[in-house]
């Protein structure tokens, strides 16, 4: 078993971030917490009803973050899966909400609608028949016929493919599925099968001498891959070390999963996160995301943290 677990990106305004992902894209805010390494900053998790692995996009909003520039060594695009007939709905919704988007395009035979959030984060929807059967979160204004099911893929911008391909393949268990133009698709699925809908693909986009990327608002900070258990995570770390000479960090407790990190050969920060314990570990599924949750080691500082965090709610999305 493998696949994407979550994608984490940098935003500017926290309230605007919430208004876009919840009120425009219709994702559920499944966790409202802080960056454990920088508790003066929010960490907002968006996903499906329960925050299933593969459905999760998270943000560190920094009010004064400088704009980013996409380039080599970065994730240049995060792609959400929607049902097959949903592209027309989303085009109209983007027009109604003033969302920047471009003409639908085909990649590996699939129809994609590229768009950007308010910080310029590059996103896309991909229309997949297999998405129709997956559960939909409909609590934030988008019905089941059109709702985003989860993250299908990320696209990494790289100078040349071989070493990143080895990290994805030997290290993380992905398989090369297809090539098209300067894209190489890696799948988390079985040989010969289409890439799974939820977290099932990574595309390498070979961009040669393109400029390196610059981190900031609108860029992806890291991509996390699934581990079924701590033992599975340790086995992946062993393979990375033995086969590729890549060292991972020690395991960090992220409350909702346990993680190790490493920089893959093209420069993108990768994380390997356990599926357990999940987002219901500190609040019921019914009320996920409704209040600020802190890990036990930060609870004593709650009054100070709450005073420093920017307000999330004053902005309401125009409807
Ligand atoms: Zn992460």
**pLDDT one-digit tens code per residue, 279-307:** 999 999 999 999 999 999 999 999 999 99
Residue 192 confidence (pLDDT):
80
What's the angle, vertex CA 44, arms to CA 38 and CA 49, rounded to 5? Answer: 145
Cα–Cα distance measured from residue 177 to residue 28, given in angstroms and rounded to the nearest whole number: 31
Rounded Cα gap, residues 39 and 112, in angstroms: 36
- Give the C-alpha separation, 178 to 108, whole Å: 8
Distance (angstroms) between ligand 1 centre and the Cα of 223 equals: 7
Burial of 91 (0-12, 13-18, 19+ CB in 10 A): middle
Between the CA of 85 and the centroid of ligand 1 the distance, in Å, is 31
Is 159 within 8 Å of 228 (Cβ atoms)? no
Residue 23, pLDDT > 80, answer: yes
Residue 319 has pLDDT above 60, yes or no: no
Instruction: Quote the ligand 1 centre to 96 CA distance (angstroms).
Output: 32
Report pLDDT for 222.
98
pLDDT of residue 314: 57
The average pLDDT across 153-166 equals 92
**Å from CA of 7 to ligand 1 middle:** 7
| C-alpha closest to that of 21 among 156, 152, 119 | 119
* Gyration radius of the chain over CA positions: 18
8: CA distance to ligand 1 center in Å? 6
Per domain, the residue ranges of the chain are: 4-308
Residue 113 has pLDDT above 80, yes or no: yes
**What is the spatial distance between Cα 99 and Cα 19, in angstroms, rounded to a whole number?**
12
With a pLDDT cut of 90, the percent of the chain lying above it is: 93
Mean pLDDT score of the chain: 95
Question: How many CA atoms does the CB half-sphere of 153 hold within 13 Å?
Answer: 30
Q: Compute the distance from residue 288 Cα to the ligand 1 centre, in Å.
A: 18
Distance CA 37, CA 307 (A): 18
Question: What pLDDT digit, counting tens, does each position of 201-252 carry?
Answer: 999 999 988 899 999 999 999 999 999 999 999 999 999 999 999 999 999 9
**CA 220 / ligand 1 centre spacing (Å):** 11
pLDDT of residue 161: 74
Question: 6 CA to middle of ligand 1, Å?
Answer: 6
**pLDDT tens per residue across span 26-38:** 999 999 999 999 9
Q: Give the right CATH number for 4-308 from 3.60.21.10, 3.40.50.620, 3.40.50.720, 3.10.180.10.
A: 3.10.180.10
Q: From 7, 4, 9, select the one nearest 195 (Cα to Cα).
A: 4
Q: How confident is the model at residue 24 (pLDDT cuts 50, 70, 90)?
A: very high
Measured CA to CA, the distance from residue 77 to residue 94 in angstroms comes to: 18
What distance in angstroms lies between residue 92's CA and the mean position of ligand 1's atoms? 32
**pLDDT score of 118:** 96
Confidence of residue 266 (pLDDT cuts 50, 70, 90): very high
Q: Give the pairing of strands 150-158 and 201-206.
A: parallel
Q: ∠ CA 187-175-10 to the nearest 5 degrees?
A: 50
Q: In this structure, are residues 35 and 60 in contact, taking their beta carbons and an 8 Å threshold?
A: yes
- Ligand 1 geometric centre to CA of 271 (Å): 6
Which pLDDT does position 26 carry in this prediction?
98
Residue given tokens 């984490």 in the structure block: 8
| Peptide bond preceding 277 in cis form (omega within 30 of 0) | yes
Give me ligand 1 centre to Cα 29, in Å.
16
| Of residues 279, 257, 254, the one with CA closest to residue 49 | 279
Q: Assess contact for 111 and 126: CB atoms under 8 A.
A: yes
Partners of residue 69 on adjacent β-strands:
214
Query: What does the pLDDT read at residue 168?
Result: 96
For residue 313, the model assigns a pLDDT of 77
How confident is the model at residue 209, as a pLDDT? 87
Partnered with residue 110 across adjacent β-strands are: 107
C-alpha torsion sign, points 306, 309, 311, 317: negative
Residue 162 Cα to ligand 1 middle (Å): 25
Question: Is 85's pLDDT higher than 90?
Answer: yes
């Amino acid at each position: 078993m493998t696949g994407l677990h979550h994608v984490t990106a940098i935003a500017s305004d926290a309230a605007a971030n919430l208004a876009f992902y919840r009120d425009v894209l219709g994702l559920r805010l499944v966790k409202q917490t802080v960056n454990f390494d920088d508790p003066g900053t929010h960490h907002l998790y968006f996903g499906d009803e329960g925050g299933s692995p593969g459905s999760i996009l998270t943000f560190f909003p920094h009010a004064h973050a400088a704009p980013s520039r996409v380039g080599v060594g970065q994730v240049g695009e995060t792609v959400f899966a929607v049902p097959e007939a949903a592209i027309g709905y989303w085009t109209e919704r983007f027009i109604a909400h003033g969302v920047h988007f471009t003409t639908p395009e085909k990649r590996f035979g699939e129809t994609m609608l590229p768009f950007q959030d308010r910080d310029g984060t590059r996103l896309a929807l991909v229309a997949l028949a297999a998405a129709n059967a997956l559960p939909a979160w409909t609590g934030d204004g988008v019905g089941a016929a059109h709702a985003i099911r989860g993250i299908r893929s990320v696209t990494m911008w790289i100078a040349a493919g071989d070493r990143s391909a080895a990290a994805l393949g030997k290290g993380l268990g992905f398989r090369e599925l297809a090539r098209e133009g300067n894209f190489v698709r890696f799948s988390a699925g079985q040989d010969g099968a289409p890439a799974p809908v939820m977290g099932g693909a990574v595309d390498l986009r070979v961009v040669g001498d393109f400029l390196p990327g610059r981190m900031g608002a609108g860029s992806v900070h890291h991509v996390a891959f699934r581990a079924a258990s701590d033992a599975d995570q340790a086995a992946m770390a062993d393979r990375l070390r033995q086969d590729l000479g890549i060292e991972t960090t020690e395991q960090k407790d992220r409350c909702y999963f346990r993680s190790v990190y490493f920089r893959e050969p093209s420069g993108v920060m990768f994380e390997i996160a356990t599926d357990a314990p999940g987002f219901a570990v500190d609040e019921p599924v019914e009320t996920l995301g409704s209040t600020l949750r802190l890990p036990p080691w930060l609870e004593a500082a709650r009054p100070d943290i709450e005073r420093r965090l920017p307000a999330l709610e004053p902005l309401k999305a125009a409807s």
